[in-house]
Amino acid sequence: MSILEVHNIEKHFGPTRVLEDISFSLDQGQALAIIGSSGSGKTTLLRCLNFLEKPDRGTISVGGSVIFDAADPATQRESEVRKKRLHFGMVFQSFNLFPQYTALKNVTLAKELLSQERPDFKQNKKAILEQIQIEGQELLAKMGLSERANHYPSQLSGGQQQRVAIARALALKPDILCFDEPTSALDPELTGEVLKVIRSLAEQKTTMIIVTHEMAFARDVADDVIFMDGGVIVEKGPARDVIEHPREERTRQFLSRYSEN
């Protein structure tokens, strides 16, 4: 069954239409890669899923229930949006780690704040916070960053920062983890360590949407690929088919630019 269903999403920035009639679905445990040139609307689409942008039209459903309907203001209430966001995790291109906190605190902060809303927080405060610490340590260990838990972001390399950001997103156990060009801000020699982490998440059947310019990575790691151009989905299908045997001329043109260099 689909964990995520997106129907007819449309988004304008002023008079410019950046997304048009975007529909797709994603099954539990699958990885979806979104490819396309800059300005094709990939990032805006991810931002819509994370409620960082509000689509002008369309619906978004998670686990069978509609969490956003552009036609229904009741689905857009501020208080509920905050909770609905937690269905999605987001890893940004520029990491956006909190500079004043250590790697570990970056991972645990949101969970600590959320736990304050638990009815048993006052009674079990110590145990709850301790548990969050342990989980944070485990996540950092999974990212190969145990040694770096007490470092501040400015003391970490770009690749390490992005891995902390992935751990931070995972800490809230989102249904769907979104990556917005996770390696685009990294030096080429640092992209490998981040891609390796994402690859292992895919092997563990983490449901993911990855906006990326790494074609070989998309082909090998994603189950499905969507190619976007000018705000519309031009082609979608199994990763290997779309990247090795594109049906559409525009997809072919786009991919040929990648094989050239």
Q: Which token pair is 68?
A: 């956003």
- CB of residue 51 to other proteins, shortest distance in Å: 8
- Which residues face 17 on adjacent strands? 12
Which residue from 83, 205, 245, 252 is in contact with other proteins, where contact means CB under 8 A?
83
Q: What CA–CA distances, in Å, run from 174 to 50, 91, 100, 232, 246?
A: 11, 12, 25, 26, 32
For other proteins, the closer of residues 89 and 231 by Cβ is 89
User: Per-residue contact track with other proteins, 137 to 166, x per CB under 8 A?
Assistant: ---------------xxx------------
Closest to other proteins by CB, 153 vs 246, is 153
Two tokens at 189? 């020699």
Which listed residue (12, 17, 57, 85) binds other proteins by CB under 8 A?
A: 85
Instruction: Give least dist CB 113 to other proteins, A.
Output: 5
Q: By CB under 8 A, is residue 179 in contact with other proteins?
A: no
Among 14, 99, 119, 188, binds other proteins (CB under 8 A): 99
Asked if 190 interacts with other proteins (CB under 8 A), we say: no
207: CB partners within 8 A, 6+ apart: 3, 4, 26, 27, 28, 29, 30, 31, 175, 176, 177
DSSP category for residue 110: H
Q: Which is nearer to other proteins, 169 or 215 (CB)?
A: 169
Residue 175 CB partners (closer than 8 Å, separation 6+): 3, 4, 62, 63, 87, 88, 207
Overall residue count recorded for the chain in this entry: 261
Amino acid at 33: A
Spacing of C-alpha 89 from chain mean position: 6
Q: How far is the CB of 21 from other proteins (least distance, A)?
A: 25
Q: What is the C-alpha separation between 18 and 39, in angstroms, rounded?
A: 8
Q: Which of 90, 103, 149, 170 binds other proteins (CB under 8 A)?
A: 90
Q: Which residues, in sequence order, are CB contacts of 123 under 8 Å at separation 6+?
A: none
- Of residues 109 and 232, the one with the C-beta less far from other proteins: 109
Which is closer to other proteins, CB of 91 or CB of 222?
Answer: 91
**Applying CB under 8 A, which part among 33-41, 129-137, 167-175, 225-233 lies near other proteins?**
167-175
The residue within the footprint of other proteins, chosen from 19, 31, 97, 201 (CB under 8 A), is 97
Of residues 40-69, those binding other proteins (CB under 8 A): 50-52
Report which secondary-structure segment, H or E, holds 241.
helix 239-244
| Contacts with other proteins, residue ranges (CB under 8 A) | 50-52, 82-83, 85-86, 88-90, 92, 94, 96-100, 109-110, 113-114, 152-154, 168-169, 172
